[in-house]
Structure 1
């Protein structure tokens, strides 16, 4: 599996690049994980409802084609896009979601952060506050979009929405839960390796 480090990239061209990659895939195209950090942007999923947009000020809302409701991406948040051929792996989208959630929980455990799942609410939580969100798009058995993990960012922007469509949902981040300074690049490397490990085991 190829790991692609994109650095800081605007959301719209990255989304287009994911679609182009997926549409151009052949049966033997190598799966890829894209590591990226986005400038501030709100993204609304295909089932997104406008009532979850509360008091958004001077920041774009992108209507995207992933699952889920509205969320925020910004500096200090790790985004990993999962360009995976599920059909070739022989797994379904529910299994892929479970793989992502398990990898995040295992990553957080490395930092002595105890994370958990919430029934009926995809993503990963710490003390019922959301620390990681996920949303996938599956086209012809292939995924794009992926996960976002809050590391060290401005959480105040989440107050302008109902995060992931849940009124009053609290959000948190690794830096507020750890004793030492969190290294963004180190976390990105650790999480991609855990994702690869879990995906390989699922085959």
Structure 2
């Protein structure tokens, strides 16, 4: 059964995070998987290994200490976020395989709209000519994943310059709009989800 899709529009990060935690704790072996498609108001999030030294000048944008993997990132309007609430034990995949699957889904989606992108073995995420366009941060609890991926579509990228994105000083960010592609964020979500679903074990 393909995962249930939930289009949440724009939601506060903390509320969505708490809802993901509750869903994951309450689910059982028969609970269908879900994809949550969402955008967030401006927020910086620090992952479990995140260091405050990578927050350079956050100004009035809130900072949330999250329980996902990874360092620091930024979410804001115009960025596609897909939370992948998956029972990876039932799917018989491990977290490394899930990360690669999500990277490959973003790469395939970008290829669909004429953008050549790649992953890096030493720095999870998706890159276009060395600039980061897609990020991944996950948490596994009771053999189930939550959090997920973000893909920069048509957003204000300036807040990224006030952090070391993903812990990398000087890492430049890009987005579909800067690559000459105009697409509705929900249409972009549909492409990504199609590629994820096709790659998940049936």
1:98-117 residue CA offsets vs partner (Å, 9 max, x unmatched): 11001000000011100011
Task: Give, in whole Å, the separation in 2 of the partners of 1:193 and 1:67.
Answer: 24
- Runs of 4+ in structure 1 off by over 6 angstroms are none
Alignment-derived partner of residue 182 in structure 1:
183
Corresponding residue to 2:167 among 153, 165, 168: 165
1:92-132 residue CA offsets vs partner (Å, 9 max, x unmatched): 00000011001000000011100011231000000010000
Corresponding residue to 1:96 among 84, 87, 98: 98
1:45-74 residue CA offsets vs partner (Å, 9 max, x unmatched): 000011101011011100000000000000
1:194 is displaced (CA, Å) by 1.3
Task: Give, in whole Å, the separation in 1 of the partners of 2:106 and 2:161.
Answer: 24
Task: Give, in whole Å, the separation in 1 of the partners of 2:90 and 2:30.
Answer: 9
TM-score by length of 1: 0.97
How many residue pairs were aligned?
200
Task: Give, in whole Å, the separation in 2 of the partners of 1:98 and 1:119.
Answer: 10
Task: Give, in whole Å, the separation in 1 of the partners of 2:98 and 2:160.
Answer: 26
1:84 aligned counterpart, secondary structure:
strand
TM-score by length of 2: 0.97
Alignment-derived partner of residue 69 in structure 1:
71
Kept after mapping to 2: 8 A contact 1:77/1:153: yes
Task: Kindly indicate whether residue 51 of structure 2 is the aligned counterpart of residue 56 of structure 1.
Answer: no
Alignment-derived partner of residue 192 in structure 2:
191
2:124 aligned counterpart, secondary structure:
strand
Alignment-derived partner of residue 122 in structure 1:
124
1:195 is displaced (CA, Å) by 1.0
1:17 aligned counterpart, secondary structure:
helix
How well do the aligned residues superpose, as a CA RMSD in angstroms?
A: 0.8
1:122 aligned counterpart, secondary structure:
coil
1:192 is displaced (CA, Å) by 1.2
Consecutive unaligned residues of structure 1, counting only runs of 5 or more, are none
